[in-house]
Amino acid sequence: MRVAALFVAAALTTACSNASGPKPIEQASGTSTSQKGVAPEKAASMPGPGAMSPEAPEAPMDEKVAEARAAYEANPSDATKKALVDVTLQNAQFYMYKSTLPTNQKYPKALKGYREVLKLDPSNAQAADSIAMLESIYKSLGKPVPET
């Protein structure tokens, strides 16, 4: 059991650190997918590499999050709240998808950001889905989910 967990952890770490990701395979129907061995009709509905990360910035946005939080606290309007939600989500996306930190450092940072987004905007589906995915990763590795 421990060997299997270590194998999964090593595979996850390797997969997460692969910056370029797998290359898509061209299907006969012209559909592109990275899901090798999956029926084309199923592959079309499966997310590919980076499917949830199109808004991920190239660098951390911690300072912008702090600025947006200060602006929101000084003037708690819908506009400043939306700005804080947007920049916090982008920062969480950076840590989840583009950070070069080890997974034991970047996942907790991403999780904290997604949770902050949900506190401000409980209907944010992207943050909720990302939290569920991260919690699933921790549980599959037999690790406790960080309380950030």
- pLDDT 10s digits, 14-52: 454 444 444 444 444 444 333 333 334 333 333 333 444
Please give the pLDDT value at position 54.
57
Kind plus residue range of the DSSP H or E element containing 32: strand 32-33
40 within some domain: no
9 within some domain: no
131 within some domain: yes
List Cα–Cα distances, 67 to 62, 64, 87, 110, 124, in angstroms. Answer: 9, 5, 10, 18, 21
Comparing 26-35, 59-68, 104-113, the range with the smallest average pLDDT is 26-35
84 within some domain: yes
pTM for this entry: 0.63
Please give the pLDDT value at position 110.
94
DSSP 48: -
User: What is the number of domains present in the chain?
Assistant: 1
What CATH number did the domain enclosing 115 receive? 1.25.40
Please give the pLDDT value at position 25.
46
Domain that residue 116 falls in: 55-148
Q: Is the pLDDT of residue 57 over 50?
A: yes
59 within some domain: yes
CB atoms within 10 A of CB 87: 22
114 within some domain: yes
45 within some domain: no
Mean pLDDT, residues 125-132 taken together:
95
146 within some domain: yes
